[in-house]
Structure 1
Amino acid sequence: MARRFRGEGTHKVDAKGRVSIPASFRRVLEAGDPNWREGDAPELVIVYGDHRRKFLECYTIEAINEVDDKIDALPRGSNERKMLERLFHGHSHPTIVDDTGRIVLPAKLRKKIELEGEAFFMASGDTFQIWKPETFDTVELARTEAWLDGLPEGTDPLIFLDGVKGD
């Protein structure tokens, strides 16, 4: 199975912060958790980051391990390493998907992105994001549209992949 999240969806958030993860996302979380076995709850890490971030970024265990390996490769004591450790280790929340396909978003995380009755899920390759639907529409969707509108007429965004080398 590919390790990429694809698609989007909106799901209800209950008063306790429980929200269903899209089913296709759960399959990727299972595949990206080296300790997961049939019947187990897949693990993930929610990175909420700094004050500028208006969304929660959810990583599979394999994806966050890749980030951790890159952080560990930085010189010990460097400012870059300290800041990235703070953003990805300190400002994160490890959790599991329960047997009904839900996660619990703590009040602190819901408050940070002003999440109330619904959560918008957006795939982002090897991560997925959780947004307040209105924030996604006004911030991120507007950003994407502005980028597309700035391209010359008739430009196919796939052109940016020309010349990109694979791993």
Structure 2
Amino acid sequence: MAVRFRGESHHKVDAKGRVSIPAGFRRVLEAGDPDWTDGLNPNLVIVYGPAKQTYLECYTIEAINEVDDKIAALPRGSQPRRMLERMFNGQSHPTNVDETGRLVLPQKLREKIGLTAEAFFLATGDTFQIWNPDTFEAEEAAKAEEWLDSYPDDFDPLTLLDQGQGVA
């Protein structure tokens, strides 16, 4: 997909679970929905995944179709295929952006990630994540700092791009 999610932002969540999506993210959702045309609301899929997952991963229709194609290429009945089908098909919520540019997050999804008054949106390229801001700061920001601390002070993260797929 040529258009990518970029940036991060905080948005209020109302009592009904409605939260505004960053405008730039809405443009990517529109571009990634083959059925979207002017005047329609773009579709997306929110994957909430297994119990250990502490955020919601939001996919454009094109991006989730790529994942589905890769899952379908695995041997039918194999353990990896069954697990991935459960995570990406069963533990997901197909939805769309409403007329005002908001998502309605069901109670089950809000409870899973401890979302109350505010949501933190984080772009991850072909997807974006929705976090409880406190969880993100406590877990993910600390992981990023720890990872960067494992490299020398003059480390340039762009050097990893030349290493190919072997980077963990």
Aligned-pair identity in percent equals 68
Give runs of aligned pairs for residues 8-47 of structure 1, distance below 5 A.
8-47=8-47
Contact residue 2 and residue 28 of structure 1 kept, 8 A: no
Give 1:162 deviation, angstroms: 1.4
Q: Distance in 1 between matches of 2:161 and 2:77?
A: 36
Q: What residue ranges of structure 1 are gaps of 5+ in the alignment?
A: none
Whether 1:146 and 2:146 are equivalent positions in the alignment is yes
Q: Distance in 1 between matches of 2:115 and 2:17?
A: 9
Count of residue pairs brought into register by the alignment: 165
The letter of the residue matching 1:110 is R
**Any idea what SS the aligned residue of 1:75 has?**
coil
Q: Distance in 2 between matches of 1:164 and 1:55?
A: 27
Q: Distance in 2 between matches of 1:160 and 1:6?
A: 20
**TM-score, with normalisation over the residues of structure 2?**
0.96
Which residue matches 1:122?
A: 122
The letter of the residue matching 2:128 is F
The letter of the residue matching 1:107 is Q
Give 1:152 deviation, angstroms: 1.4
Which residue matches 1:156?
A: 156
Q: What residue ranges of structure 2 are gaps of 5+ in the alignment?
A: none
**Any idea what SS the aligned residue of 2:67 has?**
helix
Q: After superposing the two structures, state which structure 1 stretch, 102-111 or 147-156, moved more.
A: 147-156
**TM-score, with normalisation over the residues of structure 1?**
0.96
Superposition RMSD in Å = 1.1
Q: Distance in 2 between matches of 1:101 and 1:31?
A: 15
